């Protein structure tokens, strides 16, 4: 098990360049199954989730290689079997996008159920509801989702819950269907817009991405594409929160400030000064921030992926914060670790009541999921003394060169 040793209580200052969005990359990489001809994806973050997805495609017969550190070349022409075994799909959650992509390409597929972070039940009923609307029958058999159809046709689906995964999956399947599909109550995340831009480039007609209603006109003749992945708003938000938590001053560069509005607004409420330009945001933390209430919501609400890092910061703010997790119910496991550092947090169901303490103390703490790992690093950076953070392999799933970037901002952090 990899671990970090962090010596805390140093203000982080300087600039951090933000990489491409992991959650957009893991949707667009499977989308290349729908292209005809090789595709080039630029600004791809070389995180382990992306690596695992590329390995799966290579095993299935595609040719996927890195042209340079952040540019992927993908040629899926030779991939001719619509079967993905569960021992491959259980390596990551985003492998579920192979369901929609395979279905869009072949009209039928057998794909193992996904793995991923244990942050609460992560059902796929809405994904399947969408596939049914396209004329596909589904059955879950021995850990696989078996999908059959006489040929996909455009349909109409209303999602009962706003789901990023279901929206992406139905867009991918609909891209290869005959006719037009309408998704209502669709997720509006920027990563959905990025996928829509890629699909439009290969000749699929996608309208309305970024709103609650998306229309996808499938295309039988499709093209190839060169596409650049959008910046990772979650990585950017993590560094913004790190600035606030350490009373530092960080400029995150290469971002789309509009994507970070909910984070900017909350940090300002805590007393941080936030300024922004066309493609940067600068956060100057207060000496000690003040408590705020926070509710996670689908975009453009406050992102659940930043609930944990934000709570680490609030643990040291003055006053009482009430944090409500509306998306994933088990996203408070890290609270036990923060308590080891002296945090005063009470969790009741989906709500955490955080009484800010004067000081967190360095401790031995363990991360159990991706975003908990960045939350614990932030807590350690703002704590007095030394912390040992275990479970760092989760961090590498979604952040590239996290410790390196923090070190360049003045953090005392090293891998052990
Ligand atoms: C994606 C993101 C993840 C982020 C989450 C919410 C990727 C690879 N992952 O995860 O980082 O935290 O969005 O912004 O992009 N649900 C159902 N039935 C379904 C599908 C979802 O009930 O069929 C529920 C889930 O249990 C959850 C909510 O809908 O409560 C939102 O989940 P969803 O948006 O689907 O999350 P993911 O796509 O798994």
With bands split at pLDDT 50, 70 and 90, how would you rate the model's confidence at 92? confident
Q: Is 117 noted as a catalytic residue in this protein?
A: yes
> Atom 20 (ligand 1): residue with closest C-alpha?
124
> Atom 13 (ligand 1): residue with closest C-alpha?
164
**Residue 192 has what pLDDT?**
98
**Residue 80 has what pLDDT?**
86
Q: Give the mean pLDDT of the chain.
A: 95
At the top level of CATH, the class of 22-228 is: alpha beta
- Asked if residue 120 has pLDDT above 70, the reply is no
**Residue 26 has what pLDDT?**
97
- Asked if residue 328 has pLDDT above 60, the reply is yes
Ligand 1 centre distance from Cα of residue 277 (Å):
31
CA dist 411 and 88 (Å) reads: 37
Ligand 1 centre distance from Cα of residue 131 (Å):
17
- Asked if residue 93 has pLDDT above 90, the reply is no
With bands split at pLDDT 50, 70 and 90, how would you rate the model's confidence at 1? confident
Segments making up each domain of the chain, as ranges: 3-18+231-415, 22-228
**Residue 121 has what pLDDT?**
58
> Atom 21 (ligand 1): residue with closest C-alpha?
163
With bands split at pLDDT 50, 70 and 90, how would you rate the model's confidence at 97? very high
**Residue 174 has what pLDDT?**
98
Ligand 1, residue 168: give the atom nearest the CA: 38
Q: Phi/psi at 6 (nearest 5 deg)? A: -120, 130
Q: Among 120, 122, 394, which is best to mutate for testing ligand 1, by the most ligand atoms less than 8 A from CB?
A: 122
Residue 122 φ/ψ region, left for φ over 0, alpha for ψ in the -120 to 50 degree band, beta for the rest: beta
Most confident of 116-125, 156-165, 392-401: 156-165
Ligand 1 centre distance from Cα of residue 368 (Å):
18
**Residue 388 has what pLDDT?**
97
Ligand 1, residue 370: give the atom nearest the CA: 11
Extract the tokens encoding 68: 């340079």
Catalytic residue among 117, 136, 290, 317: 117
Burial of 211 (0-12, 13-18, 19+ CB in 10 A): exposed
Nearest of 170, 173, 131 to residue 34 by alpha carbon: 173
With bands split at pLDDT 50, 70 and 90, how would you rate the model's confidence at 317? very high
**Residue 116 has what pLDDT?**
59
Average pLDDT over residues 19-23: 97
- Ligand 1 neighbours, Cβ below 6 Å, are 23, 26, 93-94, 121-127, 161, 163-166, 187, 304-305, 327-328
> Atom 38 (ligand 1): residue with closest C-alpha?
165
State percent of the chain over pLDDT 90: 89
CA dist 320 and 360 (Å) reads: 16
Q: Which residues contact 142 (CB under 8 A, 6 or more apart)?
A: none
Domain 3-18+231-415, CATH among 3.30.930.10, 3.90.550.10, 3.65.10.10, 3.20.20.140: 3.65.10.10
Tell me the pLDDT tens digit for each residue of 177-236. 999 999 999 999 999 999 999 999 999 999 999 999 999 999 988 999 999 999 999 999
**Residue 255 has what pLDDT?**
98
With bands split at pLDDT 50, 70 and 90, how would you rate the model's confidence at 410? very high
Ligand 1, residue 49: give the atom nearest the CA: 8
Total-model pTM: 0.96
Decide the pairing of beta strands 63-68 and 71-75.
antiparallel
With bands split at pLDDT 50, 70 and 90, how would you rate the model's confidence at 143? confident
Tell me the pLDDT tens digit for each residue of 264-315. 999 999 999 999 999 999 999 999 999 999 999 999 999 999 999 999 999 9
Ligand 1 centre distance from Cα of residue 394 (Å):
18
Average pLDDT over residues 383-408: 95
Average pLDDT over residues 133-137: 97
């Amino acid at each position: 098990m990899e671990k970090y040793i962090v010596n805390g209580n140093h203000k982080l200052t300087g600039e951090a360049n933000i990489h491409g969005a992991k959650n957009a990359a893991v949707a667009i990489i499977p989308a290349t199954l729908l292209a005809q001809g090789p595709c080039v994806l630029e600004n791809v973050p070389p995180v382990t989730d992306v690596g695992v997805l590329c390995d799966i495609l290579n095993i299935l017969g595609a040719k996927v290689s890195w042209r340079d550190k952040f540019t992927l070349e993908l040629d899926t022409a030779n991939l001719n079997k619509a079967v993905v075994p569960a021992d491959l799909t259980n390596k990551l959650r985003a492998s579920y996008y192979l369901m929609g992509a395979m279905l869009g390409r072949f009209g039928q597929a057998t794909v193992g159920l996904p793995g991923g972070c244990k942050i609460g039940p992560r059902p796929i009923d809405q994904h399947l509801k969408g596939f049914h609307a396209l004329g596909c029958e589904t059955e879950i058999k021995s850990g696989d989702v078996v999908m059959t159809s006489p040929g996909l046709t455009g349909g109409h689906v209303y999602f009962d819950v706003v789901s990023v995964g279901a929206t992406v999956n139905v867009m991918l399947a609909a891209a290869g269907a005959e006719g037009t599909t309408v998704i209502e109550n669709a997720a509006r995340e920027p990563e959905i817009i990025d996928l829509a831009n890629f699909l439009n480039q290969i000749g699929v007609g996608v309208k309305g991405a970024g709103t609650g209603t998306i229309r996808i006109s499938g295309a039988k003749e499709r093209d190839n594409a060169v596409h650049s992945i959008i910046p990772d708003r979650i990585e950017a938000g993590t560094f913004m929160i790190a600035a606030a938590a350490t009373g530092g001053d960080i400029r995150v560069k290469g971002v789309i400030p509009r994507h970070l509005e909910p984070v900017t607004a909350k940090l300002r409420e805590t007393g941080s000064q936030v300024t922004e330009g066309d493609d940067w945001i600068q956060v100057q933390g207060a000496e000690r921030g003040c408590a705020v209430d926070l509710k996670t919501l689908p975009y453009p609400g406050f992102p659940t992926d930043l609930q944990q890092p934000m709570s680490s910061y609030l643990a040291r703010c003055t006053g009482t914060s009430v944090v409500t997790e509306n998306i994933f119910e088990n996203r408070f496991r890290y609270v036990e670790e923060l308590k080891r550092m002296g945090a005063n947090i009470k969790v009741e169901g989906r709500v955490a009541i955080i009484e800010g303490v004067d000081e967190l103390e360095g401790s031995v703490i363990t991360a159990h999921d991706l975003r908990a790992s960045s939350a614990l690093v932030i807590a350690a950076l703002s704590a007095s003394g030394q912390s040992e953070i275990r479970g760092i392999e989760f961090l590498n799933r979604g952040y590239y060169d996290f410790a390196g970037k923090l070190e360049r901002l003045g953090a005392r952090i090293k891998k052990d």
